[in-house]
Structure 1
């Protein structure tokens, strides 16, 4: 009897071990299949995101096109949000010009938009809305794409691969991002880490539309609007003088990149200025 019970226990344990091994083998196969399906993707160590391994694309033209195509949806998305905000502000301004009062709901949304673009709005008036509208405006797609290419070496930089940061944006709280290997002694800034390319593009656009350093960019854009002219990257890029310590050399480099990469900046044979 004892021997029979022992055999039964041993048999049961054997079945359990066999089942465990089968489950492990199944999970390993599934992980390998998933890894294969990702192709040439690199995981973001901090946020478990992934971007294409652009550096692994041997053809330069294909690499550039792939990089631009990867960023375009996020740029389109955030420009659409800005355009919606701008339309609302223009409609509110039209109400005031018609002698109508601003509702509480309108005033609340205006305050929300002003806060997003770091504009202190004490009252909703024609003048304050006009000032706010200088900040709430779209960014030309071509300029965004070229700056991202310049700042990341066409998506190959450490900050793009590990931090989803495509525009070299800084943060200033210890541990907030990635520490630059070439950071000057005595400085404490880090390169911000984002959860997605969408977050990176959104933060970049808010920076250009709110930071005092880019007031010239916003003035150029507002002047073009006032003259009824399209807002093009070639005009707006001069407002990026303070984006880099290289200043004029940085602007010249961006302009050269715009000219040299024009064929890859065209989608469906149609360029997209800021709408």
Structure 2
């Protein structure tokens, strides 16, 4: 994975026709003073690599679970490392069922993630995104969390939002939240059946307190034509060591 310091939106690598360079940006660019259309374009370009990187890892985990499931079905021995991995996944996703685990791991389309990121962060302009890498407006209810106080109060009490070490960590936590919260059970069921981002939107209506949340996210998807990115993949990237990283087969973190 390429790491790149980002000093301005000009540092963002534009996507290819169907591929994205697997780049992890160090820092967050300032989107606030950009022309609205430029801001949208650059925000999407900034988000794409990170979303695809996280999705790739989720699909790798899913394939690993299915590999173990297949060996068990055939009566083949399970390696200790695979047993450890499976129990770690059960703990992480709060289930002891392989079928439920697979549905919880399986990631939804890129376009839906970007639409929610845009909506929750104001296209990268929110204070929580700029100061705490919180792209999806995730609240904190634990004083032990790294978090930022909001100006908003609920029932007279201050609302806090989580602060993350990186925006990739924020994306991973967002996927995990969708995977574990009971309210999203129907969402996960439809996602597993291959529903599109637009088809999944009605099952996210309670993600935010914003009225007409699903309609707003749907408008972002349609007006910005971001469903095309659902078919994009991570590009092969030649690391400075000379080792070619075959991203489509196995993502290597450097």
Answering whether residue 160 of structure 2 is matched by residue 190 of structure 1, we say: yes
Distance 1:213 1:170, change over 3 A: same
In the alignment, structure 1 residue 234 sits paired with structure 2 residue 211: no
Give the TM-score taking structure 1 as reference length: 0.70
Question: Partners in 1 of 2:183 and 2:158 — Cα distance?
Answer: 20
Q: State how 1:8-157 maps to structure 2 within 5 Å.
A: 38-39=7-8, 50-58=27-35, 60-119=36-95, 121=96, 128-157=97-126
Between the aligned partners of 2:231 and 2:195, the Cα distance in structure 1 is 12
Once the two structures are superposed, what CA deviation does each residue of 1:64-123 show, in whole Å capped at 9, x if it has no partner? Answer: 11001111111111111100110011111111222334343322110111222222x2xx
User: What is the rounded CA distance, in whole Å, between the counterparts of 1:70 and 1:205 in structure 2?
Assistant: 18
Please report how far the alpha carbon of residue 53 of structure 1 lies from its aligned counterpart in structure 2 after TM superposition. Answer: 1.3
Q: Does residue 213 of structure 2 align to residue 250 of structure 1?
A: yes
1:182/1:188 CA distance change after superposition, 3 Å:
closer
Q: After superposition, give the CA deviation of every residue in 1:244-264 in whole Å (9 maximum; x if it has no partner).
A: 2346x11111112211111x5
| Equivalent residue, structure 1, for 2:185 | 215
Structure with the bigger RCO (C-alpha within 8 Å, sep 6+) is 2
- After superposition, what is the alpha-carbon deviation per residue over 1:186-245, rounded to whole angstroms, capped at 9, x for unaligned? 4354100111111111111111111222112111112x1xxxxx4421122222122023
Is contact 1:172-1:188 (8 Å) kept? Answer: no
1:138, 1:110 → 2: CA distance? 18
Q: Which has the higher helix share?
A: 1
> Could you report, residue by residue, the CA deviation over 1:115-154 in whole angstroms, capped at 9, with x for unpaired residues?
22222x2xxxxxx211211111112110010000000111
Gaps of 5+ in 2: 1-5, 11-25, 234-254
TM-score, normalised on structure 2? 0.76
Contact 2:152-2:159 at 8 Å conserved across structures: no
RMSD (CA atoms):
2.5
Give, in angstroms, the shift of residue 272 of structure 1. 4.4
Task: Find the aligned partners of 2:105 and 2:176 in 1 and give their Cα distance.
Answer: 9
Which structure 1 segments of 5+ residues have no match? Answer: 1-36, 42-48, 122-127, 225-229
